[in-house]
Chain A
Amino acid sequence: EDQVTQSPEALRLQEGESSSLNCSYTVSGLRGLFWYRQDPGKGPEFLFTLYSAGEEKEKERLKATLTKKESFLHITAPKPEDSATYLCAVQDAGNNRKLIWGLGTSLAVNP
């Protein structure tokens, strides 16, 4: 069964303390993997799309990487404004190309 699992469920960091969020997936064929950021009371905001193993993308303090089984979202020297829930979604090449969403990682960065 297609599945997307994110870990940890919640993460609390001190400002400047780098860390990584994980998104592991099980799909018959990966068409693409998306990372989104969601602030309380708002819709998800698109961050990255990754298409194939080995691919990396960066945006400010965020860097997303992809392997055949998982993706990491690395946060370097985070700031309090990086506090949000980070959602991962995978599009299956089969299964009518559905987007399968993880439950998200809630990140809190303390000043």
Chain B
Amino acid sequence: EAGVAQSPRYKIIEKRQSVAFWCNPISGHATLYWYQQILGQGPKLLIQFQNNGVVDDSQLPKDRFSAERLKGVDSTLKIQPAKLEDSAVYLCASSSRGTILTEAFFGQGTRLTVV
């Protein structure tokens, strides 16, 4: 079974620039998550999709972050404009049982450095 795919693996941008991350979840997984993980901390949920609908985006900084999930499969996360404090690893995860308790499977992450 193929895992969660993310790209790019690394990205360096200047502050005020924009950036986009892509995620392809495990086939058949209805739920997709985007997390932000700052070095030395646990993952912080940014947004959770159930199919192509948003379940939870309460911690997404909506003035600069946006996310969409096309046709309930792939997803993109965008930051515009980026700030220095956005430097982190952005993790995508998917799970198979919707919002019911279930384990999530993570991709390798995209390491973003804002300079």
Binding site for B on A (CB under 8 A): 4, 31-32, 34, 41-46, 49, 51, 87, 89, 91, 96-99, 101-104
Closest to A46 in B: B103
Q: Which secondary structure dominates where chain B touches chain A? A: loop
Interface residues as binary, B1-32 with A (CB distance below 8 Å gives 1, 0 otherwise): 00010000000000000000000000000000
Interface residues as binary, B26-70 with A (CB distance below 8 Å gives 1, 0 otherwise): 000000000000001111110000000000101000000000000
Cβ–Cβ < 8 Å partners of A91 in chain B? 101
Cβ–Cβ < 8 Å partners of B58 in chain A? 96
Cα-based distance from A71 to B112 in the complex (angstroms): 33
- How many interface residues does B have (CB within 8 Å)? 22
Cβ–Cβ < 8 Å partners of A44 in chain B? 43, 91, 106
Cβ of B109 and Cβ of A103 under 8 Å apart?
no
Closest to A45 in B: B106
Partner of A96, one of B42, B56, B104: B56
Cβ–Cβ < 8 Å partners of B99 in chain A? 97
Partner of A43, one of B44, B91, B101, B102: B91
Most buried by A among B43, B93, B109, B111: B43
Q: How far is the CB of B7 from chain A (nearest CB, A)?
A: 13
Closest to A103 in B: B42
Given contacts A42-B109, A43-B4, A43-B108, contact A101 B103 (CB under 8 A): no
Q: How far is the CB of B28 from chain A (nearest CB, A)?
A: 17
Cβ of B56 and Cβ of A98 under 8 Å apart?
yes
Q: How far is the CB of A7 from chain B (nearest CB, A)?
A: 14
Cβ of B108 and Cβ of A42 under 8 Å apart?
yes
Is B72 an interface residue when CB atoms closer than 8 A count as contact? no
Given contacts A101-B43, A102-B42, A103-B40, contact A32 B101 (CB under 8 A): yes
Cβ–Cβ < 8 Å partners of B40 in chain A? 103
Most buried by B among A43, A87, A102: A43
Partner of B42, one of A41, A46, A89, A97: A89
Closest 8 CB pairs of A and B: A43-B106, A101-B42, A32-B101, A46-B103, A44-B106, A43-B109, A43-B91, A31-B101
